[in-house]
């Protein structure tokens, strides 16, 4: 549904370390999703997160839209990303 969209990730790395990055939602799988990060280097960096990371709020995802930002999460009882 959101594959190919530009997203903003806010990741809690523990011990009060929060990392914010932007990228493109590249692929989704039954248990994980892949994000291609916007980097200044020549080689793109890809990171993967599980849907459990979103449920436990270790990772917050915001879809970047032209009209504004839209935060998304998981629908209860499913593995589908939905708008919040």
- The CATH number assigned to the domain holding 77 equals 2.30.30
Global model pTM greater than 0.75: no
Please report whether residue 40 resides in a domain: yes
53 in a structural domain: yes
Identify the pLDDT of residue 74.
Answer: 53
- Which DSSP letter does residue 55 get? H
pLDDT tens, position by position, 30-55 = 899 999 998 776 777 899 999 899 88
How many domains does the chain fold into? 1
Measure the CA–CA gap between 22 and 37, rounded to whole angstroms.
Answer: 6
Q: Does 63 map to a domain?
A: yes
Distance from the Cα of residue 35 to its chain's centroid:
7
Residues 9 and 23 sit within 8 Å (Cβ to Cβ): yes
**Confidence at 67, pLDDT banded by 50, 70, 90:** very low
Kindly state whether residue 46 falls inside one of the protein's structural domains.
yes
**Is 1 among the domain residues?**
no
Question: What's the domain range around 44?
Answer: 6-83
Angle at CA 56, nearest 5°, toward 59 and 13?
45
């Amino acid at each position: 549904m959101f594959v190919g969209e530009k997203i903003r990730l806010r990741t809690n790395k523990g011990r009060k370390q929060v990392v914010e990055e932007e990228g493109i939602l590249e692929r989704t799988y039954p248990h994980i999703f892949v994000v291609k990060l916007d980097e200044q280097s020549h080689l793109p960096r890809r990171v993967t997160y599980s849907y459990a990371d979103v449920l436990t709020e270790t990772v917050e995802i915001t879809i970047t839209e032209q009209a504004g930002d839209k935060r998304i999460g998981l629908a209860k009882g499913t593995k589908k990303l939905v708008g919040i």
